[in-house]
Each structure stands twice: as structure tokens, then as C-alpha cells.
Amino acid sequence: MKIVKWYKDFNELIMFQHSVFSLPFIFIAMIVSADGWFGWQLLLLGVLAAVSARNFAMLVNRYLDRDIDALNPRTRNRPSVDGRFSQTQLRLLILINALVFIATAYIINDLAFWLSFPILLVLGGYSWFKRFSELAHLVLGLSLGLAPIAGAVAVEGEIPMWSMMLAVGVMFWVAGFDLLYSLQDMAFDKAQGLFSIPSRYGSDCTIFLARIFHAIAVLFWAFFTAMASLGFFAWLAVFVGAAMLVYEHRIVSRDFTKIDRAFFTVNGYLGFVYLLLIIADRMAG
């Protein structure tokens, strides 16, 4: 029973369900790179790399944000704050996940291994940035935007230009919905002097910037589709993704209390719908 409780606490700590945001775009890049199925070995290694990298990022965030989270009513009951995980345990988990990610990258190929170190620096940088710069939203976006580049590197051993376009699209998609999600903590961030865009510029500016970011995301998804010479279903994925983002903004603009619905449900489905349409495109091609 202790193991079950520990697992539940750990899952609450890292919020594993949020992996739905990056995993689909890793596999999209791998499918496009391989022009179809890329093999079971790369599938397992890709999942292991993605999960360990995300665990590392979340654990660093939880570790560095303990003081802030303890003051926020929305986050004061997190396992990193209420004593379920000690500072020593958090540091150990951070180290373990970093080593797993580096080791997995080493097995994949040389480029993946050498890129694993700067990737970890980016993944761990988000928590620092929000203490002194409004660019923290884009840093978070970059963290997830690296996923499709990593997927392409795993298959090809190089960074194709179309993966850069897909990465930029993912970066602005994530930064856009992080802006909307940050509206929940606007008053708290302002009181604590944190550098979120909502706390610095207000809700109207935040929503406007989120719309701009999401428009840029759709534009770069279109660039990706064209540069990778994809077909009808890939273009349909761009259209469906745009429609889902429009729906997300309609939800948030009507009622801030539904931000969780927009953040988790709409964005979670977006990645998987995009992945399914890319699979359909490769099968049709």
C-alpha cells in the first residue's frame, strides 16, 4: 500500500497527465521523419526520453517553486510543499530523471546525446525566468517545442528544417495557452512581484497576446506541412488545430472559471487529433 500511495503522490507531484501536450508532437516528427512507422525500439526510447525529460522539468519547477507554491491557495497542497516529498527526495528524483534522459539519448544516437545537455538546461530554466522576465511563457513554450526536434533527431540523426517549423508552432501554441492558464494566478503573481504577463499587463492584453501567439502557431504548422511535403490530412490537421484554438479562446473569454477546461481538455485533444491526422496522411500517402 505504501508503494501505491507513493505512486499517487508522485503522479500528483509531476502531473503525468500533462504529458499529452508534448508526446503527440514527438511522434508526429518521428512519423514524418520515417515516412511512416519508425519501429518499436524508437517508440520505447522516445517514450522513455519524453517522460524522463518532462519529469525532470516538473520536478525542477516544483523544487524551485516551493516558497511560491506555499503561499498560493491553488498550489499550497502540492506534495512538494506539504511535506510528502522532502527537499532531498526532490533533488534525488531530479538527478535520476536527468540521468535516465541522458542515457536514453546516448542509446538513440550521438546527436541526441550531445543535445540532451542543453535541452535539460532549457527544461530547468522556466522556473528561474518567471522570477525576473515575462519571457517565461515563451521559455515554457520552447521547452515543449523542443519535442518535435528531438523526435526528428531520434530518427534521422539530424535536424531537418521542417522540424524547426513544427517546433516554433508548438512553442507558440504552448506559450499561448500558458498565458491563458496564468490568468488564474494574476492577482497572486502581482502581489508576489512575479513576472507573468497577466500580472504585469492585465487580462485584456494577455488574451490579445495569446491570440497572436496561437495565430503564429497555426502559421508555423502550415509552414511545417508545406516544407515536409505532406498531404490533405496534414493540412486538415492545421485547420482542425486552428478551429480548436478558436474554441479555446471563446471558452476563456466568456468565463475565466473555465480555464482548466480550456487548458486540459481542448489542448489535450488537439495534440492527439493532430497526431491521428498525420498518421492518416502517411497511410494515405
Q: Alpha-carbon distance 177 to 206, whole Å?
A: 10
Does 201 or 191 have the greater pLDDT score?
Answer: 201
CATH number at residue 38: 1.10.357.140
- Note the pLDDT tens digit of each residue in 251-278: 877 666 566 666 667 777 899 999 999 9
Return the number of other C-beta atoms located less than 10 Å from residue 79's C-beta. Answer: 19
Q: Which of the four pLDDT bands, split at 50, 70 and 90, describes residue 163?
A: very high
Structure-model confidence comparison of residues 38 and 68, the more confident one: 38
Given a cut of 80, whether residue 8 has pLDDT beyond it is no
Q: What is the pTM of this model?
A: 0.89
Model confidence at 10, in pLDDT bands (50, 70, 90)?
confident
**Residue 53 and residue 249: Cα distance in Å, rounded?**
29
The percentage of residues in the chain with a pLDDT greater than 70, rounded to a whole number, is 92
Task: Give per-residue pLDDT as tens, 12-26.
Answer: 677 766 666 778 999
Reported for 255-264, long-range contacts at CB under 8 A and 24+ positions apart, including other chains, are 256/183, 256/184, 256/203, 259/180, 259/181, 259/183, 259/184, 262/177, 262/180, 263/177, 263/180, 263/181, 264/17
Q: How far apart are CA 113 and CA 106, in angstroms?
A: 5
pLDDT band at 41 (very low <50, low <70, confident <90, very high): very high
Q: Which range among 83-92, 131-140, 276-285 has the greatest average pLDDT?
A: 276-285
> How many residues are present in the chain?
285
- CB-based contacts of 223, cutoff 8 Å, min separation 6: 165, 169
Query: What are the cell numbers at 121?
Result: 538546461
pLDDT at residue 14, rounded to an integer: 73
What is the number of domains present in the chain?
1
pLDDT band at 111; cut points 50, 70, 90: very high
Residue 56: domain span? 2-284
Of 175, 138, 145, 176, the closest CA to residue 163 belongs to 145
pLDDT of residue 181: 81
Closest to 154 in 3D by CA, of 48, 56, 17, 271: 48
